[in-house]
Amino acid sequence: MSFRASTPSACKVISRSIARIFRARNPSALTRVRTPRPPLQRLRLYGASDFAVTSKGGDYTVHVVLGIDPQLKMYLVDMWRRQESSSVWVESFCDMVQRWRPALWALEKGQITSGIGPFLKTRMRERRCHTGLEEFPVRHDKAVRAQSIRARMEFRGGLYVPAKASWLSDLKAELLAFPTGRHDDIVDALGLAGQLVDKWCAGPQPIDNVVRFRRPEDFKDYCIESELERDSGFSWKMI
């Protein structure tokens, strides 16, 4: 995915059924390519939220959860988008943290977090749903703030999302309309997730791909041969 205001020729909207990739060289040309979905235990999860102050009308509150696989590809695992009061979206935030257990969650630092922050953290403690909260100040315009996630998506082949997700049509409509569309709250949430790029870690590798030392002989390049001959196990002395 990239945004039309920046580089029209690279515009991509991506989804997965397990997974389909929608690629668009321009907003009217979409082709689909299937690709397998990694199991959730192979994804490292991160979240982000764009909060709204009005419950009816105006902007939407959006929570997103991204997964990073062992090859650093990105998957939009879950999204919540509604126009609700703060009490409702705080509970939905806690629900998503409890369900997905993300390593970090990005928030916009400003009047909303300053006002709702104490209540949000209190509910997290009461519900025992914990994650690292990273707050980022509002700087530049929305298109500039989204460049980090846009570049990452272009570099790693896009963003994979469930093709049967109930929110897929909203996602595609908003991304293709940005920055001239009526709503841009999903873009804001993804842009906040992009601020965590330098803190992302690749998902866990399958056990078959992990090199394990099973015998003392595997360490022979790192110890004295005479010590190796006398050693009967893994309780080695420092040399």
- Lookup result for tokens 């009217």: 28
Domain count, the chain: 2
pLDDT classification of 10: cutoffs 50, 70, 90: very low
pLDDT of residue 17: 28
H helices of the chain, where? 86-100, 111-127, 142-145, 147-155, 168-177, 185-194, 225-230
Looking at the structure, do residues 123 and 232 belong to the same domain, yes or no? Answer: no
Looking at the structure, do residues 195 and 220 belong to the same domain, yes or no? Answer: no
Q: Decide if 204 is inside a domain.
A: no
pLDDT classification of 210: cutoffs 50, 70, 90: low
Looking at the structure, do residues 140 and 232 belong to the same domain, yes or no? Answer: no
Q: What would the pLDDT profile of 41-57 be if each residue is shown by its tens digit? A: 889 999 999 998 777 76
Q: What would the pLDDT profile of 142-195 be if each residue is shown by its tens digit? A: 778 888 888 888 888 788 888 888 999 899 888 888 777 778 899 999 999 999
Are residues 131 and 104 in contact, defined by beta-carbon separation less than 8 angstroms? yes
Does pTM surpass 0.85? no
Looking at the structure, do residues 83 and 188 belong to the same domain, yes or no? Answer: yes
Q: Decide if 206 is inside a domain.
A: no
Q: Hey, is 112 helix, strand or coil? A: helix
Highest mean pLDDT among 19-28, 30-39, 116-125: 116-125
Q: Decide if 116 is inside a domain.
A: yes
Q: What is the mean pLDDT of residues 44-73?
A: 89
Q: Identify the domain containing residue 235 by its residue range.
A: 214-239
d(C-alpha 239, C-alpha 232), whole Å: 16
d(C-alpha 88, C-alpha 4), whole Å: 33
pLDDT of residue 34: 59
Distance separating the N- and C-terminal Cα atoms of the chain? 53
d(C-alpha 211, C-alpha 123), whole Å: 42
Per DSSP, what are the bridge partners of residue 63?
49, 80
